[in-house]
Amino acid sequence: MIIKDFKQVNTSDPSVVAFSTSINLFNLKDIIYPHEETSDQNLITKKVLNTTPIVLGVYFENTEEELIFKNEIYILDGHHRFEYITKNSIIDDRDVILINIEQVNIDCYNSELLVEKKVFLNKIFKDFEFSTKTMHNNMLIQIDSTDYYSYKLRNIRELYSYKKELMKNKFISPIPNNTDTTKSIIRFSALSVNDFAKDYIFPYKSTWITPRFDN
C-alpha cells in the first residue's frame, strides 16, 4: 500500500517510527486485522470516532517521499471504533497513526484480583497445576511479582484463553497499566508481534502497547 499525504509523529520513544494520515478504513477493512476481541457492549458513537486517532501497526517498506507498507495491517488501538466503522459502513476518511509494528513495545494488559489470593492460587493449581517451578515453555501468571508456571499450557493462545476464562468467571478484571490499585496485580506472559495473525484474535484487553496516543 502507498500513502503520499502524511506527516511524521514524535513519540515518547524517538526510535519508534510513526506517521499521521487520513485513510478510508472501511474500504481497507479486508487488509486490516484486529489482534484482540472487543467487549460485548460497544459504546462507540459516530460523535466520538475522531476523538483520538486509530493506531495501526504496519510493516514499512519505504518511509521517504511516500509511505509504502505491506497489505497486512494490525489494529493496535481503536478496535471498538474500527468495529463501529465497519458495521455501519462509514466511508469517510479517518485520522490514523501508522506505526512500525516491529518497533512497538507489547506488554500484557494488567488485571486486578477480585478474589482472595489463596482462592486464586488454588484455582490455577487445580486447573493447570501452576507453581513457582520454572518451566521451559515460559507460560506464566505473575501475582504481585511472583511468577507461577504451568507445563500443561502449551502456547500463548492457550494461556490467553485461560485468561479470558478467569475474567469471565470474575476472578480477575482488566485494569490499565498506568492506573494504581490497592488490589493484587495479575499479569500473564506478554505477546510478541510474532503472535499476531490474520486468522486469530486474542481475548479482550490482552495487550498494553506503547507508545500510546490516547493522552
CATH of domain 2-103: 3.90.1530
Q: How far apart are CA 125 and CA 113, in angstroms?
A: 16
pLDDT tens for the chain, 215 residues long, are 999 999 999 888 888 999 999 999 999 999 999 999 998 877 788 777 878 899 999 999 999 999 999 999 999 999 999 999 999 999 999 999 999 999 999 999 999 999 999 999 999 999 999 999 988 878 999 999 999 999 999 899 999 999 999 999 999 999 999 999 999 999 999 999 999 999 999 999 999 999 988 76
- How far apart are alpha carbons 170 and 116 in whole angstroms? 12
Please state at what angle helix 117-128 crosses helix 156-168, rounded to 10 degrees.
140
What confidence score (pLDDT) does residue 215 get?
A: 60
**Unique residue bearing C-alpha cell 520513544:** 13
Give, in degrees to the nearest 5, the angle at Cα 66 between 62 and 71: 60
CA 190 to chain centre: 10
Nearest partner of 115 among 175, 171, 162, judged by Cα = 171
CA distance 27 to 110: 34
pLDDT at 168: 96
Pairing of strands 140-143, 60-63: unpaired
Any idea where the domains of the chain sit in the sequence?
2-103, 107-210
Residues 213 and 57: their CA atoms lie apart, in Å, by: 13
